[in-house]
Amino acid sequence: MYHPDVCGDLQAAEVFKSINSAYEVLSDETSRAEYNMTLQFPRQTERPDLDARRNYRWSELRRKTRYRKQKKYDYSWYYQRYYSREASTYERRHFGDVLIFAFFTLFFVQTIGCRAALTICGITALLDNRLDTGYKIGYVIAWILGGRGGVLLTLCIRFASWLCGKNSSGMVALVVVAMWVGVSLARFAPLPHGAVLTLLYMSIKLQVDLK
């Protein structure tokens, strides 16, 4: 059909040569096997490339996910630390509130009595949402004690909440109770001050380590 002697097309000779070459390749087993391998090689290499790209995308996605989580955690930790530090600084700045509280407490003690003054202080503490539960329990104990001892305990708790923050009642309660017990025992039996201070220091250190 494409033989130059039969077909008058100008490209018949080139087409005939191509067909003849293809026939020679396909008629031999070795050349036919090489030809088949040549045709199959791109298909065989395409799959590993596809798997490699897929694995790369998956690893890249996991890396980005871990990075977002780590960044979110770091930002949350930094924000909490910064916020707690700012809140503590804000509380320490207003020492005038402690002086005003002490002034009105002593004023109420002189005018309406210790019990009424402790009642007002206790109600004020219970209504404070930022105040820790331990401090509120301390105000209740001060109200139960009554008298000048209860007033002194109220003033100590108020000063401690300003100095250490309104969320650190555990350590403050330990210090206040230790000092209160030490003063009470000193009335009946002389205690070495060095031993009391050492015990107080070890108690505070233990409380800090537990946190």
Calculate ∠ Cα 158-159-164, nearest 5°. 105
Task: For 194-209, write each residue's pLDDT tens digit.
Answer: 655 666 666 656 555 6
Contact (CB, 8 A) for 103 and 115: no
Task: For 49-61, write each residue's pLDDT tens digit.
Answer: 666 666 666 566 6
Task: For 81-134, write each residue's pLDDT tens digit.
Answer: 655 555 555 555 566 777 888 888 888 888 888 888 888 888 888 888 878 787
Alpha helices in the chain (DSSP H): 12-27, 29-93, 95-111, 114-126, 133-145, 147-164, 169-188, 193-210
pTM: 0.42
When pLDDT is cut at 50, 70 and 90, the band that residue 43 belongs to is very low
Contact (CB, 8 A) for 157 and 121: no
- Main-chain dihedrals φ then ψ at residue 31, nearest 5 degrees: -65, -35
Tokens of 94: 């207003």
Domains in the chain: boundaries? 27-91, 94-210
Tokens of 23: 């026939």
